[in-house]
Amino acid sequence: MEPGIFPTTIWSQVRLGGASAGAPARDEALAELARRYQAPAEAYLRAALRLSREEAHELFQEFFAWMLSSDFLAKAERERGRFRAFVKVALKRFASDARRRELAQKRGGGERPVALDAEDVPELADRSAQSPEELLDQAWKAALIDGAFARLRTELEARGRAPAFAVFADTYLAAGPEPDYKTLAARHGCTTTDISNWLQRAKQRFRELLRAAVLETVRDPAELGAELAWLFEEA
């Protein structure tokens, strides 16, 4: 990946505009990242402050408004180039302030800067066994993977290749061992050669989409490599 591509990524737009509070391009980029990674942020707030799902959603609205209105973006240290690392720092600071000022008693009074749906945030199992930071990482991985999965489906169906996505989904979502090609061919009414070709292309494209999703959250090639290694460490 050529270094020159990085200034066009979403996180780079946020960082480059950070010194100009209220810059439209920065705010739009930050809103896009907020929509994509709402679930990890709310998971962190729920665990750190022992909030209900609804309370965490309301507090996340305040967190997002705070990021837009404060100078935290401008003061973010350069070495914090990954958006995931930035979110951890920002959430820790905001959660600490929320607890100290008892912001939970004042929720619901401000205008929401972006529409974010609480119903889209999934439940996370066994929250008590993990730290807030671990929950954020777990939900962050899920957001990246689910987003790439949805984009692959949109791409393949738009190109008239819905059967290829169905085969990939059967493999990707399979509980237990991956189905063999003969089983998949019989299930989808195609040949084992079709299965092999479809899966090879779909898996390659899925990884490309995951890489692109991670690229949107980093600032330079070194950080991309570290985030990809983290994402695939359990793959």
What are the residue ranges spanned by the domains of the chain? Answer: 3-231
pLDDT of residue 215: 85
125 burial type by CB count under 10 A (0-12 exposed, 13-18 middle, 19+ buried): exposed
Q: What is the pTM of this model?
A: 0.74
Which segments of 33-174 are extended strands (E)?
none
Straight-line distance from the first to the last Cα atom of the chain, in angstroms, rounded to the nearest whole number: 22
pLDDT of residue 101: 67
Coil/strand/helix, residue 190: coil
pLDDT of residue 197: 97
Could you read off the pLDDT of 198-218 as tens digits, one per residue? 999 999 999 999 998 888 888
DSSP state of 218: -
Mean pLDDT by 10 residues, the chain (235 residues): 46 59 69 83 90 90 81 58 81 82 52 45 52 90 93 97 96 85 95 97 95 83 82 68
pLDDT of residue 221: 66
Q: How far apart (Å, rounded) are the C-alpha atoms in residues 195 and 151?
A: 20
CA 62, distance to chain mean position in Å, is 19
Q: How far apart (Å, rounded) are the C-alpha atoms in residues 179 and 183?
A: 6
> Which tokens hold the place of 39?
């679930």
pLDDT of residue 222: 72
